[in-house]
Amino acid sequence: MSAITKQNYRGAYHFSPQAKWMNDPNGMVYFEGEYHLFFQHHPGGMTMGAMHWGHAVSKDLVTWEELDVALAPDELGMIFSGSAVVDWKNTTGFFEDKPGLVAIFTHHLDMPEGKPAVQRQSLAYSKDNGRTWTKYAGNPVLEHDAFIDFRDPKVFWNQETNEWVMIVACGQTVGLYHSPDLIHWTHASEFGEGIGSHDGVWECPDLFPLAVDGDKSNTQWVMLVSIGADPACVEGSRTQYFTGDFDGKVFTPDEESRNIRWLDYGRDNYAGVSWSDVPEEDGRRLFLGWMSNWMYASQTPAEEFRGAMTLPRELYLESREGRILLVQKPAQELEAARLPVLSLKDVSVQEINASLANLQLQSYEIVAKLTRGMSAGFKVRTGAGEQTVIGIDAKTQELYVDRQASGQHDFHEWFAGRHSVELEAPGEIDDLRIYVDRTSVEVFGNRGQAVITDLIFPKPESAGLAVFADNEEILFISLDVYNLSLPAANGDNQYSEG
């Protein structure tokens, strides 16, 4: 692959396509040592268009290799979002000697003017670790005569009932189906009426069990539902979650699910779902989302490609003060990419800023511990007139990201803003883990309960970093900064100002 220059917008350690448009992650599955990441891709343009599945693989969740496009439109339509699984037991009959991958996706067929598009679920399979795909001759395998929006099937093997389960978005609800073979599907139930946010169309659901506090005898089910951007809604598109019980057919939400809860309180983590078939001995529920927002996704500053994914994250359920919280942590593999820059203990704001004064960094990680009760934080990607402020407000008990002066923002009137999340059941220490890259910040606070993912578009030379606090004498318990420039990490992801 040739070296790409002028890619000011390409993250050093976030996945982006080599060229053109990308939105949702699709078909995330682990198989034979590789994490597969397929994605909504328009290889012919910088905005959404004829949707394909692009494809990338990673062995370590940090570096990605982009492969050929996996699925292209055909007579049944474009290839919209969906999932992939390993058919270990050859329930489909597609495989002979060894298990292979099956993709379950939405075929989206545009109809003549005035008629709504038709969305149906289809299959494709691969016998060579996702390198080449055959579409199933009997497609589509699932259609609906009432729903216009009927898409984004996420499928998993239910060990209790020995069958496949599909969760699929149906306009303002999700449908649950089951199947012995991925080909014949039976409707089981519908979920979503009268619960959750209905500010936009329901999309890209996911459903999986998680052990509470790691205790496998106490498992709860988590449902993710992304909702599309409504022009009246300043937040744009975002992802909500529900917790509850699932008996193989019906999802029963718990009391907590009566409140609307968001996976991420920033603006740029959408359509995320979890990886299928992560080995049991690993046991993690790994997640990644599209780092953009339908409100302005087609207008963000871009050159040659448009779109990036969030970092891969691990999802947990943790009980704190009698409540069960969905918690996110960056995948631990990212720690292997750290290049230590600074490590300080028990230092004042003044001392830290003296150490940071000469640093110029674009792509890095900050790990900080602060005594609770102070308002403090970081100014990242600072330069002439530019800064992104990330902090904890002790009065309001909030974590926030303020991107009002972060850089280019006038491509959409609602891009600039301050986004915050309440710190729930906080401990004695305020911990902050911040990932800064060329066009993004991902902030994990309060042991992963408070998460904010935001795009930013600073000038490349806005590479300063500073801390602030309501009292300059204040001590940070510790502060570590790691460079994550990963010069050779993402294929050709080097930045050059050429």
Distance of closest approach, residue 262 Cβ to ligand FRU, in angstroms: 16
Task: Sort 486 into a burial class: Cβ within 10 Å, 0-12 / 13-18 / 19+.
Answer: middle
Q: Residue 51 or residue 341: which is nearer to ligand FRU going by CB?
A: 51
The answer to whether residues 175 and 168 touch, using CB atoms and an 8 Å cutoff, is yes
CA dihedral 401, 402, 407, 412 (to 10 degrees): 100
Q: Write out the residues near ligand FRU by the rule CB under 6 A.
A: 23-24, 40, 48, 51, 80-81, 106, 151-152, 203-204, 271
DSSP H helical ranges for 333-418: 349-356
Distance of closest approach, residue 78 Cβ to ligand FRU, in angstroms: 8
Distance from C-alpha of 6 to C-alpha of 4, rounded to nearest angstrom? 7
Phi, psi of 135 (to 5 degrees): -80, 140
Distance of closest approach, residue 119 Cβ to ligand FRU, in angstroms: 8
Which residues, at least 6 apart from 16, have a Cβ–Cβ distance to it below 8 Å?
A: 10, 22, 305, 307, 308, 309, 490, 493
Provide the CA 413 distance to its chain's centre, in angstroms. 24
Distance of closest approach, residue 271 Cβ to ligand FRU, in angstroms: 4
Distance from C-alpha of 119 to C-alpha of 466, rounded to nearest angstrom? 50
Q: Residue 40 or residue 446: which is nearer to ligand FRU going by CB?
A: 40
- Counting every residue written for the chain, the total comes to 498
Distance of closest approach, residue 48 Cβ to ligand FRU, in angstroms: 6
Beta strands in 298-337 (DSSP E): 305-306, 313-320, 323-330
Distance from C-alpha of 431 to C-alpha of 446, rounded to nearest angstrom? 6
Q: Residue 12 or residue 51: which is nearer to ligand FRU going by CB?
A: 51
Q: Which residue among the candidates 24, 87, 277, 431 is catalytic per the annotation? A: 24
Distance of closest approach, residue 209 Cβ to ligand FRU, in angstroms: 24
Q: Residue 226 or residue 490: which is nearer to ligand FRU going by CB?
A: 226
Distance from C-alpha of 117 to C-alpha of 107, rounded to nearest angstrom? 10
Q: Residue 40 or residue 240: which is nearer to ligand FRU going by CB?
A: 40
Residues 332-366: b if buried by 16+ CB within 10 A, e if exposed: ebbeebeeebbebeebbbebbbeebeeeebbbbbb
Q: Residue 171 or residue 458: which is nearer to ligand FRU going by CB?
A: 171
Residue 24 bears catalytic tag: yes
Annotated catalytic sites, by residue? 24
